[in-house]
Structures are given as C-alpha cells and as structure tokens.
Structure 1
Amino acid sequence: MARAATVPPGLRAGGLSFVWRPWPVAVTALLAAVVFLLFCLSIGVGDFPIGLPRVVATVFGRGEAVDEFVIQDLRMPRALAGLVVGFALGVSGALTQSVARNPLASPDILGITGGAMAVAVFLVTATGATATAVTDAVGLSGAALAGGLGTGLLVYFLAWRRGVDGLRLILIGISVSAVMEALTTWMLVQADIRDVARAQAWLIGSLDGRSWEEVEVALWGTLILTAVVACAAFQFRPLHLGDDVAAGLGVRYTAVRAVMLLCAVLLAGVAVSAAGPVPFVALVAPQVAMRLVRCPVPPIAASGVTGALLLIGADLVARTALPVALPVGVVTAAIGGPFLVYLLVRANLR
C-alpha cells in the first residue's frame, strides 16, 4: 500500500499557511535587541563620549541640546548607514543562497559587487564628458547600483538553462566577478594617481563620512525591497523542497525565483551604493543566522538582523579596538575570509 506523501507544516496543496514557531521569533527578537544596544554604543563612542542612557534618551527625542547635535548631526548617519547596509546585505545573502541552494552564494561571489565596483571606478577615473554627465545625472551611488543590477542580470541570463542550477550560477558568477575585478584593476592602473586614491577610498568599503541624503536613499530602497520580499516569502518557501513540490503546491517557481533574485541584486546594489563593497557580510550573516535559528535554510529576517549586527559590531571594532581607525571593510574581510575557508572545508568533508 502506497504511503501518502507528507507535506511540511505551513504548506498545503493549493496554498500556504502561516505556522507560529517560537524559537526563530525569539532568536530574531534577541538579535534585534543586541543590534539596538550596539547601535547606541556606536553612537556614544567618539572624541566626545556619551553615556548609554543619554544616547537612548536622545534617540527617543528626550536628550539635551548638546547631545542632540552630536548624535543627530555627527554620528547618527554613520550608525544608521551601518544598520541599513548590514540588514540589506544579510537579506541579499539569504536570498542568493536560497536561490542557488548553496552556502557559498553571495553578492560578492556572484559578481554583483564587482559590477558596481567597475562602474564606480570608471566614473571616478574617467575624464570624458559622458562620465561627467552620468555622474551629474544619477550620482556615483546611483551608477554603482545600476552596475550591480546589470551584472546580476547578466549572471542570471548566462546561468539560465531551462531553470537556474545553483552550481552553474556560482561558477558563472565567479567568472563574471573575475572579469569585473580585472577591468577594475586595469582602470586603476591607467588612471591618474589622485583619481586612484579617490577610487581606493570607495573600494575598501567604509561607513565614514556618510550623509543623511545617502542614508535616506539606502533606507527607503531597503524598506521597499524588504516589503516586496515579505510579500513573496510564503511563495518562496516551497522552493527549498524542489521545483516539483513547488509546482504541486501551485507555486510559479520560475517567476518567484526571478523576483527574489532581482530583489537580492537590488538590495546588494543599494548596500554597495551607500557604503561601498563591504565584503563577506552577505556570505557570513545567513549562515550564522541559520545556525542560531536552527533552520535548514537561511532565514530571511534573522539573516538581515544578523547582517546589521555584524556590520555595526565590525565598525565599532574598527573604530575603537585597533590602534588606528580602519575602514569597516578591513574588519569584515578579516572575519569573512576564515569563515569562507570553514565553509569550503565543511563542504569537502561532506
């Protein structure tokens, strides 16, 4: 007698249902509380130190005039940029790893950040009228966003063969990323030394000198894209079980996968346009969140919160724990490099 197929909780034929799971919600809430604590600590650290109670009071609009000036005008844009960029990178990494079904998939590996870097370096180092017109029209951040989007779409179309295979997507992404890095290096070699210094300051990935305008663009872009991801999340969940199961549940898996990958590319582009190519946050955050939440796939919300935690914490370390203040990208690279080796060794052992 044939055994009836079992459907995981939250999935049913013809639709999806919401299942309350206390542990992931509790872990995500705890991570959010830690993020808020680090956010306040980051704001309070500086040449004019401010205690944590005064920072919290000022954040909620009950601080003194001096504290409001220091926090709102000088320190809040940097801390808020770290929060938004980290969240965007965490969600982007969770989506790319889920679509590719591979823990090594991330915007860094798939060439999205490489495309944004190449476009930004071209605009910084080029001297023609076209580059000047593009920079004046959309700005360096907007051009970097367009470059990341174009590279992500290129990788997706090259990887498409009646569907998207995770291994093929990663291999093509690595190839495109190598090409973009080679183009970036060639432009830096050919450019004027002053333009190279400007480009290198952007390429490292830094939260220093963020303005309220840059933060507002990144914040609104992240909120809109996160809302789209939240609306499509229930349709995206069955894809972890395979295309056949998703089709049996009435999910248009091709369209859902394309929408989620597009959101991942745009989120990575928003993050790169706001803070430069901060490495490895999108790779590490989903894997850490997956282990904390005890989930077989990268959890989207927890990955975003974990990304914000990693980036704000790395920026705090870069500013206070080292003899010389360094860009946050240096610290995230120091963390992410060994973690990438760990993932590779773990995959080989399997």
Structure 2
Amino acid sequence: MLVTAILLGATLAIALFGLMVGTLQLSVHDVFAALSGEATKMTRTVVVEWRLPRVLAAIIFGAGLGVSGAIFQSLTRNPLGSPDIIGFTSGSYTGALIVIIVSKSTSFVGIAAGALIGGITTAILIYILAFRKGTQGFRLIIVGIAISTILNSLNSVLLLKSKAEVAFTAAAWGVGSLNGISWAQALPGMLTVVLLLMCAAVMSRPLREMELGEDAAKSHGIRMERSQLALILVAVVLTAAPTAVMGPVSFVALAAPQIALRFTKSAQSLAPVAAMGAFLLLGADIVAQRIITGMILPVGVVTLSLGGIYLVWVLFRQARSAS
C-alpha cells in the first residue's frame, strides 16, 4: 500500500508537470483555473482539450500495459513473459498495417479496429499452438516468440511493398505515440482499459493461486484452463486497446511488473504494478516531449530504448543465476 501510494503521488506530480509545460508555459494556478473552468478560453483549450487527454491516456494505458505484463509473467512464471516478447503487440501492428496498406484507410477507427482484431487473433493462434494437455508458460513464450518473428517479417514485407507515403504513415504509427491525441480518440480505449482493470482485480485470486503451481491451484478449487483463458483474454485486450490508440509501445508491460516486485518484495497485488506502469509511461512521454533534444518525439522511441537496455539486463541476470 505504501509503494502504491508513493507511485500514485509521483504520477500525479509529473501529471501536473505535464499539464504545465509545452509551447505555452503555465503555472500551477493556471492549470487548476483551467480545470475548474475559471481560466481564459485559450488556457482552458490548451489544458483540457490538448494536454489532459494525453496525460490521462498515458496514465490509464500505462496501468493497463503494466497489469497485462504482470498477468503474462504470472501465468508463464517468467520475467520475459510479456506481450512485447510473446508477440501480441506484433499482432496488433500487423492488423493495423493491413488496414493502412491493403485497404488504404487512414481513419483512426479503422486502424484501431485492425489493431484490436490483430492482437486478439494472434492471441488465439498462440494459445491454440501452445496448448497441449494444458498451457505451460515456457511453451507459450517459445510459440509466441516464433509467431512474433513471423509477424515481424510479414510487417516488413507489407511496408516494402507499399507506396512511400503509405509506408511512412504505417511506420510512424508503428513507433507508438501519444502526440496529438484527442478525447475522441482516447476515451473509448481508456474506458475499455478501466473496465478490464476491474476485471483483472476480480481475477487476482485465481492468478495468485496459479503462481503456486497447477496442483496447488486445483486443490484450492481453481479451474485452470478456464481461468487461464479468461486471464489471457483480459491481458490481451489490456494490450490491444492501448495499442489500437497509440500504436505499439514496448518496455512498459515488460518492466513495470518486475520493478514493482523489487519495490514491494511481493507479488500479491496488481495495484502497485498498475501504478508503476502509469508512472513509467507518463514519465517516458514527458521525457520524449521535453528533455530529449528539446523536440516532441513519439513515446515509443523512449520506451523502446529503455526496454532494450532492460531486456539485456534481465537476460544477464538469468544467465548469471543459471551459472
């Protein structure tokens, strides 16, 4: 509870900072005046219509990605069990690419629908291929990595075969960005993530029981296959919904559960993981906006760079533990 409270406080602090900074610099008083409706029309437009959707989307989507990673890491009992590694993010990207390149549609609704369908379809395929007298975590990761490799190759072929302007649009979406996000774009995804976070909280007990092993979970009355399938579905949509809005964003789902675990020394709650995911994604977005070279970059550039470093560190620790 203490770690969660600290993380939420830090997230609120950088959220306030995110509402203040930009081309138009605002004070704390200006921000609260805009939120209460007492500021000028220009200030209210900047805070409420431009900056607030971005900040809230980063917080909610970060929480969703963190919890999604925690679910997969618990099911696979492996710190590499993340939607980034297993391939669900690649499936969402493939679905969006098909919409952008094949149908030549650049509408937000079409791209979001393609990403959502692609992520869910990939999850179903991986689950079917990994299922053999139950779903074991290691087999799920191996099958997921194989499917992800195939999808990445398919994505490269689609980009190479498309026209330059269409490929540029698809590649820009594939980096993952919150730039220019509006209420109309963010609200459906945010509502979906909030609903699924509540579902994940309800299903936290079966998740914790399954971490003890299949025999222990069954002895406590947990129906393994039904619970696994339900948790995988929740985790996939928690990844696909943010991806449909902002594109594939790496690192958060992979790192947030492990960082939260090292702070809390306990894997008994998803709350600190959600708070850590919100803090990481919002912090990365603010870094992308203000600190790196003074220009606005896609948040995926920052998370991908940090994620690569973190992945190397995890592999190094596992190799050292094994030796």
Structure-1 separation of matches of 2:110 and 2:119:
14
- How high is the sequence identity, in percent, across the aligned residues? 36
> Equivalents in 1 of 2:156, 2:290: separation in Å?
31
- Alignment CA distance shift 1:98-1:63 (3 Å): farther
Deviations 1:216-263 (A, max 9, x none): 111110111111111111232111111111111112122112111110
Whole-angstrom CA distance in 2 between matches of 1:63 and 1:96: 45
AA aligned opposite 2:112? S
TM-score under structure 1 length normalisation: 0.87
Q: 1:243 to 1:84 in 2, by over 3 A?
A: same
Quote the Cα distance in structure 1 between the aligned partners of 2:269 and 2:313.
20
Checking the alignment, whether the CA contact within 8 Å between 1:319 and 1:326 is kept in structure 2 is yes
User: CA RMSD, aligned part only?
Assistant: 1.7
Task: Tell me the alpha carbon deviations over residues 186-241 of structure 1, each in whole angstroms, 9 at most, x when there is no partner.
Answer: 00000000101110110001000112112111111011111111111123211111
Residue 113 of structure 1, aligned match among 89, 93, 99: 89
Q: CA separation in 2, counterparts of 1:102 and 1:163?
A: 17
Secondary structure in structure 1 of the residue aligned to 2:292: coil
Counterpart secondary structure, 1:279: coil
Does residue 34 of the first structure (1) align with residue 10 of the second (2)?
yes
Distance in structure 2 (CA, Å) of the matches to 1:53 and 1:209: 24
Query: Which amino acid is the alignment partner of residue 286 of structure 2?
Result: L
- Cα displacement (A) at 1:55: 2.1
CA contact (8 A) 1:32 1:305 kept: yes
Q: Which residue of 2 aligns with 1:64?
A: 39
For 1:55, the equivalent position in structure 2 comes to 31
CA distance, structure 1, for counterparts of residue 156 and residue 115 of structure 2: 16
Deviation at 1:115, TM superposition (A): 0.7
After alignment, is 203-212 or 138-147 more displaced?
138-147
**Is the 8 Å Cα contact of residues 85 and 275 (structure 1) preserved in structure 2?**
no
Offset at residue 298 of structure 1 (A): 7.4
3-state DSSP class of the match of 2:208? Answer: helix
Look at both structures and tell me which one has the larger radius of gyration over its CA atoms: 1
> Where do 1:1-350 residues align within 5 Å?
25-59=1-35, 61=36, 63-65=38-40, 66-127=42-103, 139-295=110-266, 297=267, 299-323=269-293, 324-350=295-321
- Aligned letter for 2:217? A
| Residue identity opposite 1:110 in structure 2 | I
- In structure 2, the CA distance between the partners of 1:96 and 1:63, relative to structure 1 (3 Å rule), is farther
Instruction: List gaps (5 residues or longer) in structure 2.
Output: none
Q: Which amino acid aligns with 1:99?
A: L
TM-score of the superposition, structure 2-length normalised? Answer: 0.94
Count of residue correspondences: 319
2:91/2:118 contact within 8 Å kept:
yes
Contact 2:49 2:182 in 1 (8 A): no
Q: Tell me the amino acid that sits aligned with residue 102 of structure 1.
A: N
CA contact (8 A) 1:125 1:195 kept: yes
Question: Aligned in 2, Cα 1:224/1:83: closer, same or farther, shift over 3 Å?
Answer: same
Q: CA deviation at 1:321?
A: 0.8
Bigger proportion of residues as helix: 2
